[in-house]
Structure formats: structure tokens, C-alpha cells
Amino acid sequence: MQLPAGKASTGLAYVAAVVLVNVGFSRHPELDWFWSLLVGGVLALRDVAQRRWGHRVLLLMLVGAALSFRLGAPAVALASATAFLISETVDWLVYTATHRPFATRIWWSVLCSAPVDTAVFLAMAGLLNGQLFAIGVGSKVLAGGLISLSLRTRSRS
């Protein structure tokens, strides 16, 4: 079975982004703010992937998590993959239940999933504190907001 080019590239980009963030944090945890910013983009990219893949996007999430565990530091990858699977499920539920324009759906799904992702990851990594939580959530929401705003602007022109 051959996938249409757009569908295949969206799925590949999503899985690659998940792996990049998880392995990146495993190898360079001092760049937490950067990885958090990228996660905001990945949360929005998941919505794009769901648009093309439907509910099968959940399978892409599992592939990304498995590759992350294999390629990253196991403890960090486990915390990251667990947080990602939980927050991506929240993201998926919000995106699926929100019958609004695409840019609005992205905004709401990132707003709901970013705190979950940050809290679960930091708790499992033994790093949960107010400052890291605020940085993590803030950078993810910033990235998701910029993507949502960009889509809104593009749809108006």
C-alpha cells in the first residue's frame, strides 16, 4: 500500500519530531527550555498529522515513543515518552472534541496538553518545581500560540 506523499511526509515529520525532542532532551537536558519550545510545535504538528491520518495518529505516537526509548537515555526517554503519550492523548481528545476552525483547535489542544506534558515529565524525571514547570508550559504554549496565529493569519489571506 502506497501512502499519498502529503500523508507520508506528515506522518514521518511527526514521528521524527517526537524522537528529536525526546532524544535531544536525553542528551542535552540543560536545553530544557529549547526542547519545551519544540514540544509546543510537536503538539501542534500532532494536530496536523491527525488531520491527515485520522485516529491512526495514535499509532504514530506509539512509534515515536518506541523509537525515543530505543535511541535516548532510557530513564529520560521513559519520562518523556510517558508524558508525551499522556499529553498527546489529551491533545488528541481536545482536538477531536473541539469542532472549531483548525487554528482554534490547535490553540485549545496545546493549552490543555502543555501543562500535562510538563507536569508528568518533570515529576517522572524528579525535577518538578515551579520554575521549571512555568518555563516548560510557557514555552510550549508560546510555540503553539505562534503556530495557531500563523494559521489564522494564513487562512484570512
Q: What is the pLDDT of residues 68-84, one digit of tens each?
A: 889 987 777 788 778 87
Confidence of residue 157 (pLDDT cuts 50, 70, 90): low
Grid cell, residue 122, equals 518533570
* Domain range for 135: 5-156
Question: How many distinct structural domains can be found in the chain?
Answer: 1
